[in-house]
A and B are shown apart, each in its own frame.
Chain A
Amino acid sequence: MAKANSSAYVERYADGASSLCGQTVPWLQQQRADAILQFTEYGFPAIRDEDWRYTNVSVLDKQHFAMAQKSVSAVITADWLKAYQLVDAWSLVLVDGYFSAEHSVLADLPEGVTVMSLAKALQDAQYATVLEGKINGAVSQDENGFVAFNGAYFVDGVLIHVPAKLQVSKPIQVLHIATQELTAINTRSVIVADELSEVQLIETFVGLECAYLSVAVTEVFVGQNANVTLHKVQVESEKAIHFGGTYVKQARDARFRHDNFALGAVLARSDVHTDLDHASECELNGLYLGVKRQHIDNHTRINHLKPHGISRQLYKGVLDDRARGVFQGRVVVAEDAQKTDSQMNNRNLLLSSDAEADTKPQLEIYADDVKCAHGVTVGQLDEKSIFYLQSRCVDEETARNMLTFAFANEMVDKVKIKSLHDLILGQVLTRFPQEGINKEWL
């Protein structure tokens, strides 16, 4: 049955859809057509859906977001970019979803490494072949309505391909910038790391002060014994709605790490799903900071499909004012996945009595010889620690701010890329009371 909210989009997007990238690629045209049907049927998720019970996106029924068009914004100057674009990294910039050659820094990529606009890649038979089976190859068939919406209408995105045995010397950043009021920005990213390769990636989401809907789907293929780290820095505009889905396929012995710094947007949801093969490892970290009326949802699913896999999850949330944080983590250990070693942790700090944290760890274990643990905490600052700091001359307000910062900083400190670490640290500090915290001493 068609959903009202999706039918309206399908109608209004019909014109724009005919000029989206990949027109000359038959398999993609078929996938887009299928996605439109699926989106029409699913609509945007409703809270009836178990995976969405804490996150209400019914605002999308009332508010229409037009398909983002390619544009040039005078606001994005070199100076403006400095706050988000990493030095010592290659960066591909997408403005309202469309590749911006002008702002991207892609010179001198190592030989064999591809970092390019997805739309461009689809125009080139050589790259289109790489993409076949990869676009919609990691995301499962029956994902939620956002994924179908994205599959139907993505305008551009990125293809990153690292050839076998190559260790990419510098990080690669994909910088998403939103500039247009009341638009929907759909991007698709495909990351392929061939066997024994190593790469560090950053996805940054930022926007000008306006209301928009950002829907970004990233598919990652980590080859045998390859190592991929993906840092996501979500600092969308205060009025933005963000849906980001990262879907990963890990081959045998592959390592994947995802850090999600969810700091912006009024309503944000991040999904990370990964499938682990024999002895592959994944580490999922998250820090979400909510103030005012922000709603930030993190959703993970780890499928241990084969033996000896290792998964680690640590998500920390700090919620102030009337903010709400959600963590839903699901670990599925298949019958065949003996000797799985899995840990899932979610810790929340509530700074106000109106703030809320909902946390739901789920373990589904079908194998009998596994080590799986999970832990969840929701609490306030520890009074003993406050007194300890006071006894060391620190006033109470500063002590509270220090402890709040320290709680969040554990996650920031995991970031080893210096410029990225500093960028995130700066973003974290501006979002919380910092009275008494001396940045120079950190």
Chain B
Amino acid sequence: MLSIKNLHVSVGDKPILKGINLEIKPGEIHAIMGPNGSGKSTLSHILSGKSGYTVTEGSATYQGKDLLEMPPEIRAREGVFLAFQYPVEIPGVSNVYLLKAALNSIRKHQGQSEVDAMDFLTLVKGKVRLLEMDEKFLYRAVNEGFSGGEKKRNEILQMAILEPKLCILDETDSGLDIDALKIVSEGVNSLRSPDRSFVMVTHYQRLLDYIKPDFVHVLANGQIVKSGGAELALELEEKGYSWLEDAEASA
């Protein structure tokens, strides 16, 4: 699905990612943990095509194609989805408009016709229920005046409707209370399938109780300093990151 090789990324002259290697196969769930400022969001952004970064070395291949060459909207239409750490408010554009525009772009990209208006509403309303949201949210401007938790839920709603192949969740669990976390996790779990992969950036092992990862990676100072199974997250919860950074420094 996704193959990242020796990826180096800078902002201006400042190197942020310093040689990332990561292989993600269809159906897998990878958790990425790591201290603040280690480069987790940068990795999410570079995969989804945000401008302002320079790739100085390395590659990212998605479904056999050079991901880094594609404009962001093509990546999205090809199935890459980023649930933002800080979802953007778009006053004046309703949620339902954006969903329709996005879904139809994907369908067009796949050579399909525009979605039928009734089918669309049925689909959207079903997902709204799944995420236990109020239908009113559909007609409000995208994220405008939403609480932190509502914004995160809205990201997952979009994801559930667009059915991407590669889902990148950047701290979707931050700022969610336990009930909301359960609902969001159920939403994510309902999307799990053998041909869909997840990259979940998180600070909290708690999320991984609800969505069990196949792999956990620790990103520190722009590099993956340790990889392991789900049990690594528990270890991190207990010991923090410093032991890894120390190990890295002495290595």
Contact = CB atoms under 8 A, between A and B. Distances in A.
B49 A442 contact: no
Most A C-beta atoms less than 10 A away, residue of B92, B98, B158, B162? B92
B200 interface: no
Contacts of B141: 406
Interface in B194-245: none
A13 B118 CA distance: 63
B106 A393 contact: yes
A393 B159 CA distance: 12
Interface string B85-101: 00110111100111011
A396 B87 contact: no
Interface stretch (A25-33, A60-68, A125-133, A382-390): A382-390
Given A387-B50, A392-B98, A394-B102, A410 B91 contact: yes
Contacts of A155: none
Given A390-B73, A392-B158, A393-B73, A385 B101 contact: no
B90 A389 contact: yes
B101 A393 contact: yes
Nearest to A399: B73
Contacts, number: 85
B30 interface: no
Contact of A390 (B76, B87, B91): B76
A409 interface: yes
A410 B50 CA distance: 27
A392 B102 contact: yes
B63 interface: no
B162 A403 contact: no
A405 B102 contact: no
Interface in A401-439: 402-403, 405-410, 413, 436, 438
A407 B71 CA distance: 25
A385 B90 contact: yes
B152 interface: no
A387 B46 CA distance: 12
B82 interface: yes
A391 interface: yes
B102 A393 contact: yes
A406 B88 CA distance: 14
A441 B91 CA distance: 16
Nearest to A409: B92
B39 interface: no
- The 3 A-B residue pairs whose C-beta atoms are closest, nearest first, are A406-B92, A393-B105, A390-B72
Interface of B: 48-51, 71-73, 75-77, 81-82, 84, 87-88, 90-93, 96-98, 100-103, 105-106, 109, 141, 158, 162
30 contacts: A382-B88, A385-B88, A385-B90, A387-B49, A387-B72, A387-B88, A390-B49, A390-B72, A391-B49, A391-B72, A391-B73, A391-B81, A391-B84, A392-B76, A393-B73, A393-B77, A393-B162, A394-B101, A395-B73, A395-B105, A398-B101, A402-B93, A406-B90, A407-B91, A407-B92, A408-B92, A409-B92, A413-B92, A436-B101, A438-B101
Given A393-B73, A393-B103, A394-B102, 5 more contacts: A387-B72, A387-B88, A391-B48, A396-B71, A407-B91
